[in-house]
Structure 1
Amino acid sequence: MSTMQDYQSSLDDPNSRKFETFSYLPEMDQARIRKQVEYIVAKGWNPAIEHSEPENAFDHYWYMWKLPMFGETDVDTILAEAEACHKAHPDNHVRLVGYDNYAQSKGAEMVVFRGKPV
């Protein structure tokens, strides 16, 4: 039986913090992020962009970047909004959310840009 790996993460070390499942994997490049957006669109989920200061990512609600993109199916438009949010808030974490209308919950959520640690 293999041993479970312990991911060292602490509030004292901002570089070690994990936010969601994808945080435990190698950082996604643009092609992999695009695949995730394609998956969100294929599932019929509504994409939304959120951002937060790294020091507040655990304790506060994330800020909504504009309104959710209800019914948006153009992957390039969704990626452009994530990039625009990152350019407007370069020190913040930016995450992509896929809202599942049927389940009325988040179907997907991932940080696509990491802000600078405090």
Structure 2
Amino acid sequence: MKKRLISSYDEINDTFVGKVDGEKGYCADYGISDGIYLGINNSNFPNSIIVPQASKVLDTSKETLESPDVKININCDDIFIHFDLCIEDSKICSITCKNSFGIPKMECLIDSNI
């Protein structure tokens, strides 16, 4: 499945936020890695990401985080969540964590360029 991403970066507070276009509200935020939080809707599908202290957590420059060209790829099965964050076609972050959050089996590309 493909969805449109709206992302923003607050340089003063060093916070990166990405949200699926058209999604309203959320059910919960889950820490999938140190400093990276995945928001899910009431159907347990991912609909946002929040990264406080983003330049430190993602180990990249604030200038890179300001780019509007962002893609998030999320693949889930019963055991794992695989999460990739790319900015300007460069992989900034790749995480695999246990799917202990009840997210259903899915493959989703959330892209700012759709």
| Superposed pair shares fold, TM > 0.5 | no
Higher strand proportion (structure 1 or 2): 2
The TM-score, its normalising length taken from structure 2, stands at: 0.26
Higher helix proportion (structure 1 or 2): 1
Q: Which has the larger radius of gyration?
A: 1
The TM-score, its normalising length taken from structure 1, stands at: 0.25
